[in-house]
Amino acid sequence: MTVTFTEIPLQALTDLVNGWGTLPREGDGRGDAPHRPVSDIAAHLGLPASVSAALTPEALAHAADRLHPVFSAPDAVACAST
């Protein structure tokens, strides 16, 4: 299922990347730990309940990994090219 976000609060976006992203999880020693439940962030993403119910921790991890380069970019030019 493809979900398109048009607007998401920065705090929720940061929580998504840091909570489910592979590199942030590895960086703080949670790399092998199970992902947090979807319910930990679903309400903060502003998604309809039917969409939130279909999300999996793996799908959140995939989204977080796709977003991580934007968060880790050293500057605006690098961020724009991700």
For the chain, which residues make up each domain, given as ranges?
A: 10-80
Q: How does pLDDT run across 52-69, given as a tens digit for each residue?
A: 888 899 999 999 999 898
CA distance 53 to 9: 20
pTM score, whole prediction = 0.79
Contact status, residue 23 vs residue 72, Cβ threshold 8 Å: yes
> What are the tens digits of pLDDT across the range 1-17?
666 666 788 898 899 99
